[in-house]
Amino acid sequence: MGPLLNDLLVMLPLTWLDAVALVLFVSVWIAYQWYADYSATARPRLGHEMDRYVREWIARMIERDNRMVDVNVLRNLTRSSQFFASITMLILGALVALMGYAEKAAAVMAELPFAQQVSERVWELKILLLLLIFVYAFFKFTWSIRQFGFGSILVGAAHKPTSDVGAHAAHIERTAVILCFANRNFNHGLRAYYFGVAALSWFLHPLLMIAVTLGVLYVLHQREFRSRTLDLLLRNGAG
């Protein structure tokens, strides 16, 4: 493992501090995403509470004759994903253009206080990292758009309300699960923006990237597991 890592550093080429910052960045993102969205911890989290409310919403939707309110909610959710997908495309275009001016941009950045002196190749690697982050975000947002569209079709395909709510149980679950998937993909895309800020700090110094990565982790954890929004959702759920 040691010789392989040394060969990789020579090929890139990165300093040990840059390599540590990059590995920490990737590890923190993957670990937090697993913990927040897929781990089996019983600790309340914002995403899971919203999934519960989505199921309650779809159950109430089945009982309504007029579903324009539900259609408008889905339209607003889809617009949020469309907005971020459009912004992400603009960011990707700017980053691709920046690749052609890597040498000039590196020279300008080197004049900033505390900025790290790096080669043009390392500068391009940092731009490439941002490109990968926002490509990932674009795919997440566009998949979220499609899933919200699927959810809209399922809302339209729901049968008229009857006294037997259990007869709609399978359709309620199917619709709710797809909308929960859409919300999760939207959250993943939005989370990429947070970590994009940490990657952006790498242009100045790897130590700053480490600090901002840990700061992003703290902010995301506070919002997902300790926010007032979560407290209100739990309070209303308990009530």
pLDDT band at 62 (very low <50, low <70, confident <90, very high): confident
Report yes or no on 11 lying in a domain: no
What total number of domains does the chain contain? 1
Report yes or no on 237 lying in a domain: no
Report yes or no on 3 lying in a domain: no
Q: Are 32 and 217 in contact (CB under 8 A)?
A: yes
Q: 24-34 pLDDT, tens per residue? A: 999 999 999 99
Q: Spell out a b/e string for 128-137, using b for 16 or more CB atoms within 10 Å of the CB, else e.
A: ebbbebbebb
Rounded percentage of the chain residues whose pLDDT exceeds 70: 82
pTM for the whole structure: 0.86
Report yes or no on 23 lying in a domain: no
Residue 224 lies in domain:
46-231
Q: Are 99 and 120 in contact (CB under 8 A)?
A: no
What letter does residue 167 receive in the DSSP assignment?
A: G
pLDDT band at 239 (very low <50, low <70, confident <90, very high): very low
Q: 1-60 pLDDT, tens per residue? A: 455 545 544 556 678 888 899 999 999 999 999 999 988 877 888 988 999 999 999 988
